Structure 1
């Protein structure tokens, strides 16, 4: 009986996992309003209708209240483990028209250059972005909303392109792996039967856009002939279907690998999957970082006399990226006040020094104020904040050594003074043994006594 209860608990747990995630996704339908402006209307994707059926949404146009059928399950699966505390994803809908790919290298996907009748009808493209994933799906709508039990339009997911790395941060010099998966189900049984059994041919395209410029990194048409552009920057893609079921649905892989990423490679990456007359695209924002090396000079000790100014301190912040957002703060730790506090004195930063690998360096300066004997043993610290570092930053410190003045109890014991006229006692010996004769005036006065 215990084993049966355990199996039941496991089964219920699996059901909870599978049914997790939002039941509906709020979206905006975006369309051209003319004269360079856009019009936006509220919309919603109903992923799980619930036991009572679709909830009524009188606030929505019935054509924009979509009950989603997802044969491949990729769209629903992306939301199943969506963190409860994560911000709601941004969702946009727009009209889509099936067309052959415009790129020359992808023309082998549609040699007849005529869209088949099986793709007729109304199409929508869904673009969803978040910090967890980014995806796009092509939906084929039913011609009219269904009337019962509520006004809602049925829509079937045909193609979904998905990445779980929408905002990768890569350490400079490390390899970057940008994952990409996609799934496809023919929109109608007629469309599936008109094709040869198994997944259809596809094209994969990776592009990068940065500072207003864009170029093709990689293009592939697995299993098809034709001239493919040369791969750039050592990029490698794992482009293949994962299964070969005769009538679908099918899932595929388009993950790209970039070796030894450098700063010039950051920017927006566009991953586009081409099927005959259909395209799906996701965007990724790749950023590069490098943590600074921090050191402090002079070190390990800073020496000063009471009332004097210690030597100028230099905080070396070397080989970091990006150059923006770096902060240098100075602290004085210990001393008569104890604890840690903001250091006084003049502070300034040098200009950036650029290196061949794209990283930068700079110097932080501190000219401390005059010191007191009570500050002996205190420590000056340079703390650096940067996006590549933990929130607490990174710090280095040096110890302050202040020259102390001896007290009366620390004075040397005086010895009897021999006659200054003694011919066998050097004059220098008198100066070294008599502590209180320190000036020429003292010597002259002693001689006249």
Structure 2
């Protein structure tokens, strides 16, 4: 006997038990319905009419699916009824009970009337389902119904569980990071980090925390039961498939509410007094989703000593990494949400976009939402949609025409009174190179001669580029000729780069045969580009079939010309000596130079 152990975690087991129980209820109802139908009684009636004289014997017969017939008796026979024309009518009723009468899976029920005029019969088919020995078709049908019921129950379970209990939200594994106690001060204060866990729901937390069974290796004080009314944590980008190694990156930090230090957010904290609402435990959470689909930062508030924080301010971007070609319009996504039940809702906000690249930064755009005005900046060609900002919290940055100088990191910051949250979006301008080969066309190459070919790649960004050469012979086979002599990068005024490579085309060293196609290949992250030029090599030792055919044709033409000249001179009665001399001159002066010409071409 082989025993197979199945391991199911507690969450899966709970879901499996619920679905299993619902399925058992459905199956019970289904089989009860079949049993009731099987045990039900059908009353059949046979009516005999228009006969005379009135003597008549009524009865019932049954023929099963096996072809065997048997009598079911007379049933309940009524008295005679006489019509106006003097004929009679009579009927009989029979209770068809599959249990008592043993109908099996059904058959044909026949009403029999024996009369001195003639015996008559009338039959009807009887189908019985739910018998103890079902047919293969019945079994397959019942299995299909069972599978459909199971699927419907599972879909309903998922729908209601995600809509009612918020089970569509993930359980996030995070790192809780804070300064080590007693180590404040200095530029490099040592940090302490612990494993942490967040159970998330979209409604007020009403589950018993003891039933969630957090892992034993996590400190209970670092387990949080988060309420996220907007469902920002419930994105599919933060919910990897079960068993996946790739998981979202999450970090929790203690947060201290404070007044903003920038002038476009100063109006949010005009009052020097801190609201009583701020007297609580505050946390900031930064999460990066799977496959660069989402970046999210939240501020959460929990009553002192409570482990059930609620999201107050959320800022997210669905485009953590953006790539664009030169000249295109670029949208850097950023949206925010404020808890409507919070006293901070409706108290004003400010938006800031800042650019950073290699330690340098600049203010791109800043908007004071409380006073409805923009701060002065030196940046041009960037804007936000103020209408969408108020209607849906859409703070996305729009860059009208992408340039190389726009490559870098953009930080979207949302200010509320005493709170701020920010997310970062990386923009990379990717432009593939344009290729040109010089000289164009390539000159004819003679054995022993060297032709210098140059490939120029220009207008590309970023500067990472791989240049190389390929050669395709007349036989169609391609091979690499190496990188050649590659120059350094040169940067143009628009920020794009150019680079070139030179290659010495020596038919002897590179074995170029009779020539072919020389191709310059540029491999760039934007797109690979190729440029080709035809190379002809003359005077090679092994002429092609076309060259051989041409030489044969020329030889035949020369032979014909000589023959004609021979006939001409011979007909003019020239002496044999003179004729031989003239023919010798023709051969020496015409054929010999031609042969020499073919020899050196």
TM > 0.5: yes
Asked if residue 351 in structure 1 is aligned to residue 512 in structure 2, the reply is no
User: What is the TM-score of this pair, normalised by structure 2?
Assistant: 0.59
> Residues 98 and 411 (structure 1 numbering): CA distance in 2 closer, same or farther, change over 3 Å?
same
For residues 431 and 406 of structure 2, the distance between their equivalents in structure 1, rounded to whole angstroms, comes to 14
Residue in structure 2 matched with residue 360 of structure 1 by the alignment: 497
Give the paired residue count: 407
How do 1:137-152 and structure 2 match up within 5 A? 137-144=298-305
Q: Which moved more, 1:13-22 or 1:368-377?
A: 13-22
Asked if residue 115 in structure 1 is aligned to residue 262 in structure 2, the reply is no
How do 1:15-414 and structure 2 match up within 5 A? 23-33=170-180, 34=183, 36=188, 37-47=190-200, 53-77=211-235, 79=237, 87-130=246-289, 131-144=292-305, 153-185=307-339, 192=343, 199-224=346-371, 228-230=375-377, 232-239=379-386, 252-300=393-441, 303-305=444-446, 307-309=447-449, 311-323=451-463, 325-335=464-474, 338-343=476-481, 347-371=484-508, 375-376=513-514, 378-389=516-527, 393-403=528-538, 405=543, 407=548, 409=552, 412=555, 413=558
Deviations 1:68-112 (A, max 9, x none): 101222232464776888942221111101111111221111110
For residues 308 and 422 of structure 2, the distance between their equivalents in structure 1, rounded to whole angstroms, comes to 23
| Matched position secondary structure for 1:232 | coil
For residues 311 and 431 of structure 1, the distance between their equivalents in structure 2, rounded to whole angstroms, comes to 36
Q: Which moved more, 1:202-211 or 1:27-36?
A: 27-36
- Unaligned 5+ segments in structure 1 are 146-152, 245-250, 440-449
> Residues 438 and 60 (structure 1 numbering): CA distance in 2 closer, same or farther, change over 3 Å?
closer
Q: Tell me which protein shows more helix as a share of its residues.
A: 2
> Residues 52 and 293 (structure 1 numbering): CA distance in 2 closer, same or farther, change over 3 Å?
farther
| Alpha-carbon shift at residue 52 of structure 1 (Å) | 8.9
- Unaligned 5+ segments in structure 2 are 1-148, 202-206, 570-575, 597-601
Say whether the 8 Å CA contact 1:240–1:254 is kept in structure 2: no
Residue in structure 2 matched with residue 435 of structure 1 by the alignment: 592
Say whether the 8 Å CA contact 2:408–2:427 is kept in structure 1: yes
Deviations 1:139-188 (A, max 9, x none): 1134335xxxxxxx2111111000111111121222211111111116xx
Cα RMSD (Å) of the superposition? 3.9
Deviations 1:232-261 (A, max 9, x none): 2232112457778xxxxxx51211111212
User: What is the TM-score of this pair, normalised by structure 1?
Assistant: 0.77
| Matched position secondary structure for 2:484 | strand
Say whether the 8 Å CA contact 1:100–1:113 is kept in structure 2: no
> Residues 38 and 410 (structure 1 numbering): CA distance in 2 closer, same or farther, change over 3 Å?
farther
| Alpha-carbon shift at residue 125 of structure 1 (Å) | 0.3
Deviations 1:263-292 (A, max 9, x none): 222222111101111111111111112111
Say whether the 8 Å CA contact 2:331–2:396 is kept in structure 1: yes
| Matched position secondary structure for 2:305 | coil
Deviations 1:302-339 (A, max 9, x none): 5323x33452222221111111x200121222445x53
